[in-house]
Amino acid sequence: MRHLQSPLVVAALSCGQQQAYNSFVTRFQPELAAQGQRLIGYYQKSKNGVDSLNKAVTALANAASKLRAEDPQVFCTATWNLFWSLGREPDRLPAAAAENLMYAVPMPAQYQDPPIVSASDGAGASPAGAASRTVPVK
């Protein structure tokens, strides 16, 4: 969600889209707050804690600012269209967040279950036919 929100903050400040951003935050406050708490919780469990969270948020803001600087017209039009489409179809928020990842900024690592140890050989193995699971840290 933060990958979606950072460019929208930049658009509010540098594309004259403050009213659209304020409407976005008001409309999606519960979702944004919940995702923010999940992000804080994740980083509190990580080895570098809040310092890593601050660095990640700064990296996202810098990446969004760079996108705007590279082509202001395209950036501002894209963010305006995003505000508009989310206003008309608010149920698309999770999809919009997934579609607007800034790949220049690495995603936080996800928790992975340790391999299952077979009693017969002691080596790490997954049960036959089971897929490896990756789940976000909550």
Averaged pLDDT in 10-residue chunks for the chain of 138 residues: 94 96 96 91 80 88 95 96 96 93 72 49 42 37
In angstroms, the CA 51 to CA 84 distance is 34
CB 24 within 8 A of CB 8: yes
Instruction: Report pTM.
Output: 0.73
In angstroms, the CA 137 to CA 110 distance is 6
Q: What is the pLDDT of residue 8?
A: 96
For the chain, the structural domain boundaries read 2-111
Q: Encode 1-33: b = buried (16+ Cβ within 10 Å), e = exposed.
A: bbbbbbbbbbbbebbebeebbeebeeebeeebe
3 state DSSP class of 125: strand
- DSSP secondary structure string for all residues of 72-97: HHHHHHHHHHHHHHHHH-GGGHHHHH
Q: What is the pLDDT of residue 124?
A: 43
In angstroms, the CA 135 to CA 111 distance is 6
